Amino acid sequence: MQIEKNKLKEAAFDLRFLLNRGYRKKGALQFVANKYVLNKDERNYLARSIFSDLISKKRQEKIIDISKIKDELLLVDGYNVLITVESLYNEDYDSIILCDDMVIRDLNAVFGKYKFNNATEMALNKILDLISLYAPSYTYFFFDSPVSFSGKLAGLTKKIMAGYNLSGNICLSKTVDTEIIRLSKLKNAVVATGDSVIIDKVDRIVDIPRYILENF
């Protein structure tokens, strides 16, 4: 991924300026991308990391310390969390960014084309080890059923989860975002995700990849 840092910094400033003045993100991003002649990677960077000050503030207010998941229902956006942690183990540090809303995201995340790799099991162990330290009452992992190997991944997650003596289950769904949002409202659950759509519609989130990155 080739990104010119100085050009991107100026483009990010301009995009944030437009968003703060109420311009829709799609149009503002297109304008800025054309002005600075941004490539696909640079556009993706801006799309995933730059937000208006208002949106960033609202999202930051939803982020809770991971210690607060104790005795709470935890809903994990499986692919979203896993792929970011895998990038740490694959030493793909350039793709991992801290966004305006203070959430860690992976620029290379392509959920529909997921493949098992050497980091998969290590990443799952790290995620579940971290969760077990803070003892939620119950943990649901959600995986998108249309994605390749989702059944195999669900089985592996369940096996590792049992080894940590965690109460929980795995949910395969065609509508993961909808299910997480619905259940979070119904049960007042904490959600582990970096997905902007989900974050905007739930009350409390925890950024698992960020905790792992800070102690990696």
Write out the DSSP string of the chain. ----HHHHHHHHHHHHHHHHTT--HHHHHHHHHHHHT--HHHHHHHHHH---HHHHHHHHTTB--GGGGTTSEEEEEHHHHHHHHHHHHTT-GGGEEE-TTS-EEETT--GGG----TTHHHHHHHHHHHHHHH--SEEEEEEETTSTTHHHHHHHHHHHHHHTT--EEEEEES-HHHHHHHHHHHHT-EEE---HHHHTT-S-EE-HHHHHHHT-
Q: How far apart are the first and last CA of the chain?
A: 23
* Residue 38 φ then ψ, to 5°: -85, 145
Residue 1 has pLDDT above 50, yes or no: no
Count of structural domains, the chain: 2
From 75, 108, 91, 89, select the one nearest 3 (Cα to Cα).
108
Residue 52 has pLDDT above 90, yes or no: yes
Residue 216 has pLDDT above 80, yes or no: no
The domain that contains 74 carries what CATH number?
3.40.50
56 falls within a domain:
no
3-state secondary structure 146-164: CCCCHHHHHHHHHHHHHHC
Confidence of residue 81 (pLDDT cuts 50, 70, 90): very high
Please write the tens of the pLDDT for every residue from 148-197. 889 999 999 999 999 998 999 999 999 999 999 999 999 999 999 999 99
Q: Which two tokens stand for residue 8?
A: 């991107």
| Statement to judge: residues 109 and 190 lie in one domain | yes
User: What pLDDT does 111 receive?
Assistant: 63
The model carries a pTM of: 0.93
| Statement to judge: residues 71 and 150 lie in one domain | yes
Lowest average pLDDT, out of 85-89, 113-117, 211-215, goes to: 113-117
* Residue 75 φ then ψ, to 5°: -110, 120
% of the chain exceeding 70 in pLDDT? 97
Domain that holds residue 154: 66-214
88 falls within a domain:
yes
CB 205 within 8 A of CB 63: yes
Please write the tens of the pLDDT for every residue from 96-112. 999 999 999 998 876 66
Q: Looking at this protein, which amino acid is placed at residue 10?
A: E
Per-residue pLDDT, averaged over 21-49, amounts to: 96
| Statement to judge: residues 164 and 209 lie in one domain | yes
Q: How confident is the prediction for the chain on average, in pLDDT?
A: 94
User: What pLDDT does 5 receive?
Assistant: 79
Per-residue pLDDT, averaged over 34-59, amounts to: 96
Q: Is 170 left (phi over 0), alpha (psi -120 to 50) or beta?
A: beta
| Statement to judge: residues 96 and 197 lie in one domain | yes
Per-residue pLDDT, averaged over 64-90, amounts to: 96
